[in-house]
């Protein structure tokens, strides 16, 4: 059987933790920061864990990554 290809966009944007969860950068941080409150900006630092439903889709894009 031929090997499956990993989606390049997914491997650049997401990481899979050892327990199998999908880590992603926070959304809504690219522009328009002047509209957002300081507390919103603080809460959106770093990364976050993706919801279970969405992570199922992302894992299908990365067939050979660690799945926990």
Q: With respect to residue 66, please indicate whether it lies within any of the assigned structural domains.
A: no
Q: Based on the structure, what is the number of domains in the chain? A: 1
pTM for the predicted model, two decimal places:
0.82
Q: Print the domain residue range for 21.
A: 8-61
End-to-end CA distance of the chain: 24
Nearby residues of 3 by Cβ (< 8 Å), 6 or more positions away: none
Tens-binned pLDDT, residue by residue, of the chain (68 aa): 899 999 999 999 999 999 999 999 999 999 999 999 999 999 999 999 999 999 999 999 999 887 64
| CATH number of residue 14's parent domain | 4.10.410.60
């Amino acid at each position: 059987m031929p090997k499956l290809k990993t989606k390049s966009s997914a491997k650049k944007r997401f990481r899979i933790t050892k327990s199998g969860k999908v880590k992603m950068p926070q959304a809504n941080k690219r522009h328009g920061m002047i509209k957002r409150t300081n507390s919103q900006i603080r809460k959106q630092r770093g990364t976050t864990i993706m919801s279970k439903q969405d992570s199922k889709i992302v894992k299908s894009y990365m067939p050979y990554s660690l799945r926990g």
